[in-house]
Structure 1
Amino acid sequence: MDSNQNTVQFDFVKDKKDLTKTILTDVYNSLIKKGYNPVNQMVGYLISGDPTYITNYNGARALVRKLERDEILEEVLKSYLDIKK
């Protein structure tokens, strides 16, 4: 039995941000490895919603579809504007 009685705090916002960054980084790297322009491909996906803009290589298409496009855009915009919320 675990003797650690401390309460673990869950930070959904931070975890969501970290997950989004990890997934986008993995998708970016998969697109690079397949010879695509990753920014153009990812923008195409975000604008159109068509998952075929993302390669299946390394499961990148399935990964990116775990996130909602509006949530991706929200995190990208917050990061670009350096908003901490």
Structure 2
Amino acid sequence: MSSFEETMQFRLRPDEPSRAERALLLAYEALSEKGYNPIHQMAGYLISGDPAYITSHKDARDTIRRLERDELIEELVRAYLAARLP
């Protein structure tokens, strides 16, 4: 069986705090404080990978760049579904 036919499984350790969650919240706060629409700016960053979408205010740009974009997307999916599923 080729590796393309197998489903890979990803798990975070339950005791590991989410760096992605902290980075997203920091970026949201910093963008809001600077008068930007944080949802539009973060979406632009996640789609393009261009860090210029994230302000350097409160070190938000450097903080969010320390993570891979897929980590940030996984956190967003987890939070979205957790808020909507029983």
Which interval holds the TM-score relative to the shorter structure? 0.7 to 0.9
| Cα distance between partner residues in 2 of 1:14 and 1:69 | 22
The corresponding residue for 2:49 is 49
| Cα distance between partner residues in 2 of 1:69 and 1:46 | 6
SS at match of 1:12: coil
Aligned length: 72
The corresponding residue for 1:7 is none
SS at match of 2:66: coil
Alignment of 1:1-85 (within 5 A): 12-16=13-17, 18-82=18-82
Once the two structures are superposed, what CA deviation does each residue of 1:56-84 show, in whole Å capped at 9, x if it has no partner?
1111100000111011101111111119x
| Cα distance between partner residues in 2 of 1:12 and 1:76 | 17
> 72-81 vs 47-56, which deviates more?
72-81
* Paired AA for residue 54 in structure 1: I
The alignment's C-alpha RMSD in Å is 1.8
SS at match of 2:70: helix
| Cα distance between partner residues in 2 of 1:13 and 1:37 | 32
In structure 2, the gaps of 5 or more residues are 1-11
| Cα distance between partner residues in 2 of 1:22 and 1:73 | 13
In structure 1, the gaps of 5 or more residues are 1-10
Q: Which has the larger radius of gyration?
A: 1
